[in-house]
Structure 1
Amino acid sequence: MTAAPLRPPPQAPPSPPPTLLIAALCAAEVLTMIGVFAFAALLPAFMAAWDLSSTEAGWIGGIVFAGYAVAAPVLVALTDRVDARRVFVGGALLAGGANLAFAVAADGFWSALLLRALAGVGLAGTYMPGLRVLVDRLPPARRPGAVPLYTASFSLGSAVSYLIPALVADLAGWRTAFAVAGLAAVAATALLVWLPRHRPEPPADGARGALLDFRPVFASRATMGYVLGYVAHMWELFAFRAWIVAFLGFGLAAGATGPADAGGTGLLAPGSVATWGALVAMAASIGGARVATRRGRAATTQVFMAASALMALGFGWCAGLPYPVLAGLAILYAGLIQLDSAALTTGAVETAPAGRRGATLAVHSLLGFGAAFLGPLLFGLTLDLAGGRDSAAAWGVAFALVGGIGLLGIPALALARGRPRTARGG
């Protein structure tokens, strides 16, 4: 009896070309984000149609990021145990379904609140898990250049999220705008289904521990310095993004007798200005990270945070300026806010406790996007308490509060200055 021939060991599926992989993940992330700021882009119309108070509008604008903050710790930590591609595809389908349901069923505060929260859970399943899909499949030498491109796609997606819903709504109404956003998120899954499967590597000691054990992250002073700085940054950033279109609309009416006189149409329409600001922010984030790496990350980031917070303290009082000047200041402010974004995330990752990079990103997302929820909400509440959205003083007070929160990131980053760098881990 002859022995059966030995079977060759199974071959790992071929890796896709790095350039194609990077392009696919960046495009997929942008597609899933078209609906993220759609409500903010169309906020004045919703406030009028549904008779929303500023506080109610703040709830709807911020609930996306509350959904993100609640779901992200579980979904990001889960990528240590299952292929991150599965998490991304599930998140994209949920985001797409939530936007399609909004297009069909949203008719007021409560329905909008629920569906936007579900969209936030979908976002949690795509942003950081998408980064993990990319890193898991790239050779180590390509990762340093690829990660900034992917994280910058969040800002590009933000820009598109202001532009496309506004354009579609002008042509076919807001329900069609949300339907387009939903279909785009579903279409993003086609960019990932062709990727080979990836099995996450087990921990070096073979023990995974509890999925949500974040104690080592909280115990790292340097890491928490960057995380808490990120909290202040996200509060300021998302308050700005949720309310900038409405503020520019107010400024357009306050600074001129009509849109034609102010130049508030076309490239200077409020939604277009928000888009330009998000594009400038993308470049500022990449450039700010490079400068911070060369000059000292924590100290340089403190300077960036001071600049954007000081801008916020005065920005809300500028509504009476000629509209083109106000639009230019909004774009400048959008860039200043983003100078510290990538530097803060890089700092958290680089100082993460050994073997706890996934847990660090989970804490980063939980606290950061929790602030992203509270920022728009408290901004709207401040508007109501300070005189309403038709009061110039109320806008000044609301943005000043945002600047005050932004300044809190500076002492938080003192925890990270001069601290020894910990060993890097996965």
Structure 2
Amino acid sequence: MCIGQLGNLLPHVTLSANLAQHLMPAWGLSAAEGGLMASGYAFGYMLAVPLLTTLTDRIDARIVLLCGSIVSGLATLAFGIFADGFWSGTIIWSLAGLGFAGAYMPGLKALTDRLPAGDTSRAVTLYTSSFSVGVGLSFLFAQILADRWGWRSAFYATGVGPIAMVGACLLMERRTPAPKAGRLLDFAPVFANREALGCILGYGAHCFELYGIRTWLVGFWTFVAAHQDGPPWMTPVLMSFCFAVISMPASILGNEAALRFGRHRAITVVMIASACVALVIGLNATAPAWVLALLLMIYGLTVPADSGALTAGMSAAAVSEHRGATLALHSTVGFGLSAVGAWGTGVALDIAGGPQSATGWLMVFVVLAAGIALGPLALLWARRAGAEGVARQTR
């Protein structure tokens, strides 16, 4: 499943990796337009994931995973063939996100349905953290291919990646869930589950920050490379790849910290640390390249360190018969705020001076810091609401 997910993720940031250097100059896009086009992926995901993930409570998640992987790959190929401006690019990239909605959380459901009973947090964390390796490979291949053969070649090549998950689906044993009555899209039990809801809202704050920095990471380092004297090997390709790949051990270690010190406490510490690092980067956008490289690697550790713990916490808190609906809401909130993060940071960049302005990049990181700072408030609300509910029951 993790290998299949690496293939499914090859298209994931192909657009973001080529946005600032290739697509925006070629199509004359502003940062807000570029951010909105990139957010189309998350927007398409957000629209489709409630239906597709909730559907896994009624049919084998393997079927949804197979179809979603195929659509994701075909849409990525279509971007390389047909996209020629803002509107066509946004529409096609939204279809790619719609396909990925059938691939990520349904894949997690397909995995957890086939795991033995008991604590599955380490398996879930390994699956979610392999997301980061896939994104790192997406950054790497997309930029190398685009620099050598043009940006369309990057979409052609990464669009083939989902074949890996198609193969995994064909090898997977069948597992049909028990028949279930009632409405398909029934999120009332999920909203009543305050412990799961706290993790879901915290995940939304995490996704806002994560998708925002992934959308503009290459653009930021292009600014740094143009204005600072750094080693020639310290390229946007290398920085974006390293930033993404170190997310995997960070996510695993974050979950281990949650198991040892308490989930809410560990996640809160990580989120506050991430907000602080973002502010430091923004305030030092004109610092020497090696200083910013070090800060970005630290940020690459703090941004994903809460991801595995949040998803594992949501999965553990989910009631088994409503797990598909819980995963659906988890993804809907997460990728909905991902879309806001990509677009909102682009708007902030435009307002404060654009991609060639240090003030513009300061505003980008201020927005990212403000977004992740809301995560601890969501966890605090969930804990207090849960404690009040327990108190009422014991009276």
Smaller-chain TM-score bracket: over 0.9
| Higher alpha-carbon deviation: 215-224 or 285-294 | 215-224
Which position in structure 1 is the counterpart of 2:108?
A: 131
Out of 144, 147, 152, the residue aligned to residue 129 of structure 2 is 152
CA distance in 2, matches of 1:294, 1:141: 17
Q: 1:169 offset after TM fit, Å?
A: 1.6
Deviation string 1:131-164 (CA, Å, 9 cap, x unpaired) is 2222223333694543222112211111111011
CA distance in 2, matches of 1:142, 1:391: 48
CA distance in 2, matches of 1:183, 1:356: 33
Partner of 1:387, secondary structure, is: coil
Partner of 2:256, secondary structure, is: helix
Q: 1:356 offset after TM fit, Å?
A: 2.0
Report the TM-score when normalising by structure 1: 0.87
CA distance in 2, matches of 1:347, 1:145: 11
Check 1:218–1:139 CA distance in 2 against 1; reply closer, same or farther (3 A cut).
Answer: closer
One-letter code aligned to 1:294: R
Q: 1:106 offset after TM fit, Å?
A: 1.0
Check 1:187–1:290 CA distance in 2 against 1; reply closer, same or farther (3 A cut).
Answer: closer
Pair 1:361-2:361 in alignment: no
CA distance in 2, matches of 1:407, 1:85: 36
| Higher alpha-carbon deviation: 345-354 or 26-35 | 345-354
CA distance in 2, matches of 1:350, 1:191: 25
| Higher alpha-carbon deviation: 411-420 or 373-382 | 411-420
Out of 209, 223, 231, the residue aligned to residue 263 of structure 1 is 231
Which position in structure 2 is the counterpart of 1:236?
A: 209
Pair 1:215-2:188 in alignment: yes
CA distance in 2, matches of 1:218, 1:143: 23
CA distance in 2, matches of 1:288, 1:145: 11
Deviation string 1:381-421 (CA, Å, 9 cap, x unpaired) is 11111122211111101211210121111111113437479
Which position in structure 1 is the counterpart of 2:144?
A: 167
Which position in structure 1 is the counterpart of 2:366?
A: 400
Percentage of identical aligned residues: 41
Which position in structure 1 is the counterpart of 2:83?
A: 106
Q: 1:239 offset after TM fit, Å?
A: 0.3
Contact 1:276 1:331 in 2 (8 A): yes
CA distance in 1, matches of 2:320, 2:4: 30
Which position in structure 1 is the counterpart of 2:268?
A: 302
Report the TM-score when normalising by structure 2: 0.93
Out of 214, 219, 226, the residue aligned to residue 246 of structure 1 is 219
Partner of 2:176, secondary structure, is: coil
Check 1:414–1:145 CA distance in 2 against 1; reply closer, same or farther (3 A cut).
Answer: closer
Partner of 1:415, secondary structure, is: helix
Q: 1:186 offset after TM fit, Å?
A: 3.3
Pair 1:33-2:33 in alignment: no
Q: 1:183 offset after TM fit, Å?
A: 1.4
Partner of 1:417, secondary structure, is: helix
CA distance in 1, matches of 2:24, 2:329: 34
One-letter code aligned to 1:40: S
Partner of 1:249, secondary structure, is: helix
CA distance in 1, matches of 2:121, 2:65: 22
CA distance in 2, matches of 1:353, 1:131: 15
One-letter code aligned to 2:4: A
One-letter code aligned to 1:378: G
Which position in structure 2 is the counterpart of 1:224?
A: 197
One-letter code aligned to 1:352: A
| Higher alpha-carbon deviation: 282-291 or 292-301 | 292-301
CA distance in 2, matches of 1:47, 1:386: 18
Out of 375, 384, 393, the residue aligned to residue 341 of structure 2 is 375
Which position in structure 1 is the counterpart of 2:296?
A: 330
Partner of 2:170, secondary structure, is: coil
Pair 1:181-2:158 in alignment: yes
Q: Which structure: greater helix fraction?
A: 2
Contact 1:99 1:181 in 2 (8 A): yes
CA distance in 1, matches of 2:5, 2:217: 23
Out of 18, 21, 25, the residue aligned to residue 48 of structure 1 is 25
Q: 1:371 offset after TM fit, Å?
A: 0.3
CA distance in 2, matches of 1:264, 1:242: 23
Q: 1:111 offset after TM fit, Å?
A: 1.0
CA distance in 2, matches of 1:195, 1:354: 21
CA distance in 1, matches of 2:342, 2:162: 24
Partner of 1:139, secondary structure, is: coil
Q: 1:165 offset after TM fit, Å?
A: 1.1
Q: 1:319 offset after TM fit, Å?
A: 2.3
Which position in structure 1 is the counterpart of 2:42?
A: 65
Out of 240, 265, 280, the residue aligned to residue 314 of structure 1 is 280
Contact 1:264 1:270 in 2 (8 A): no
Contact 2:57 2:322 in 1 (8 A): no
- Structure 1 residue runs without a partner (length 5+): 1-24, 257-261
Check 1:355–1:334 CA distance in 2 against 1; reply closer, same or farther (3 A cut).
Answer: same
One-letter code aligned to 1:33: L
Partner of 1:107, secondary structure, is: coil
Out of 53, 60, 64, the residue aligned to residue 87 of structure 1 is 64
Contact 1:274 1:331 in 2 (8 A): no
